[in-house]
Amino acid sequence: MNTFCENDVVTLREGVEAKIIDGDVVFMPEGTEGTIVMVYGRAEQPSAYEVEFFISKQNDFALATVDAGLLCKD
């Protein structure tokens, strides 16, 4: 499993739900790029990451807690 640091740009291996700051839930499909904003667990073996996604058609950002195994780096 890859480990990532805050500010790394990552890609989803499968789709996840994310929450926009106003509370709306959006679906981020497989292949969507996002930025790590928080690491959960031990730095050498994180359990999950908080990932921020930019939604261009809404000109807004969404956050999702993503299991470590669902992310990769190009």
Q: What is the pLDDT of residues 1-46, one digit of tens each?
A: 679 999 999 999 999 999 998 889 999 999 999 999 999 998 889 9
pLDDT bucket at 74, cuts 50 / 70 / 90: confident
φ/ψ of 62, rounded to 5, equals -135, 150
Instruction: Give residue for tokens 């667990």.
Output: 41
Hey, where are the domains in the chain? 9-72
Residue partners of 42: CB distance under 8 A and separation at least 6: none
